[in-house]
Amino acid sequence: MNENASGRHAAATFGGGCFWCTEAVLQRIEGVLSVTSGYAGGATPDPTYEEVCNGDTGHAEVVQVAFDPGIMTYEELLDIFWQAHDPTTLNQQGADTGTQYRSIILYADEGQKAAAEASRKKAQARFRDPILTEIKMLDGFWRAEDYHQNYYNTNTSAGYCRAVIAPKLKKLRLE
Rounded distance, CA 49 to CA 68, Å?
A: 29
The beta-carbon contacts of 125-133 under 8 Å, at least 24 apart in sequence, are 126/82, 127/87, 127/88, 128/88, 129/88, 130/88, 131/87, 131/88, 131/103, 132/87, 132/88, 132/89, 132/90, 132/102, 132/103, 133/87, 133/103, 133/104, 133/105
Catalytic residue among 18, 21, 53, 161: 18
Run of H or E residues at 103:
strand 103-107
Active site residue 161: no
Active site residues: 18
